[in-house]
């Protein structure tokens, strides 16, 4: 049971907590495919679908575990590898990633998200805490957040307690004074509780706890 008297700050996961992530990813992947068609046709021909490019990403995940906390670097490296395999210039990877990343920031908020954030931001310092590469400022909600911490920039991903402690530090409160809100039982709920926080599970799909 939550002890609301102790709450002095709230941290929020982003993807699948404030907006559904897959529509944003699918749009970004479609944008990437179009960019490759226009600028790297050999790569587009060799990898004609998002599923084909995801196979390359899976290869990079296996070979580069050091990038698993940095989804931007992971995506950038998978694009570079696809370009290399197809005989296109791997240096195009940065421009291709920029097209993907810009589209990745186009999200469709859940109906209750903006009103909840606005209401809570008037009362508590809010901290964005994500393993993904959405940027609250590019998404358009940066003004509601006191701070934003990503695994990519911090170097450790949820459920590592250190990233939760960083959120508490950013809000200038103790971990026991932070309520973390997120959709992933392990990454968000167990991670936050293990770091000494309280946590709320956002279970929009009605999954059983396991």
Q: Which residues contact 116 (CB under 8 A, 6 or more apart)?
A: none
Q: What distance in Å separates the CA atoms of residue 75 and residue 162, rounded to the nearest whole number?
A: 24
Q: What distance in Å separates the CA atoms of residue 191 and residue 44, rounded to the nearest whole number?
A: 39
- The SS3 call for residue 155 is coil
> Would you please indicate which residues are annotated as catalytic (active-site) residues?
13
Q: What distance in Å separates the CA atoms of residue 82 and residue 42, rounded to the nearest whole number?
A: 10
Structural tokens at position 81: 């590898």
DSSP 155-205: S--TT-HHHHHHHHHHHTS-GGGEEEEES-IIIIIIHHHHTT-EEEE--TT
Cβ 157 vs Cβ 163: under 8 Å: yes
Structural tokens at position 191: 């991670």
Q: What distance in Å separates the CA atoms of residue 187 and residue 198, rounded to the nearest whole number?
A: 14
Q: What distance in Å separates the CA atoms of residue 103 and residue 101, rounded to the nearest whole number?
A: 5
């Amino acid at each position: 049971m939550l002890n609301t008297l102790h709450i002095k700050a709230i941290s929020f996961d982003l993807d699948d907590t404030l907006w559904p992530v897959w529509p944003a990813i699918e749009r970004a992947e479609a944008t990437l495919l179009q960019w490759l068609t226009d600028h790297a046709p050999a790569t587009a021909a060799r990898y004609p679908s998002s599923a084909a490019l995801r196979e390359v990403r899976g290869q990079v995940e296996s070979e580069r575990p050091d990038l698993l906390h940095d989804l931007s670097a992971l995506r950038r490296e998978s694009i570079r590898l696809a370009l290399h395999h197809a005989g296109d210039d791997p240096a195009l990877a940065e421009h291709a990633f920029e097209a993907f990343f810009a589209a990745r920031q186009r999200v469709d908020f859940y109906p209750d998200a903006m009103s909840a954030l606005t209401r809570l931001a008037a009362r508590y310092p809010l901290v964005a805490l994500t393993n993904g590469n959405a940027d609250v400022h590019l998404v358009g909600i940066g003004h509601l957040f006191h701070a934003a911490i990503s695994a990519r920039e911090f170097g450790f991903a949820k459920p590592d307690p250190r990233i939760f402690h960083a959120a508490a530090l950013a809000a200038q409160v103790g971990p026991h004074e932070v309520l973390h809100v997120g959709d992933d039982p392990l990454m968000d709920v167990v991670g936050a509780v293990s770091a000494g926080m309280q946590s709320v599970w956002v279970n929009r799909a009605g999954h059983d706890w396991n």
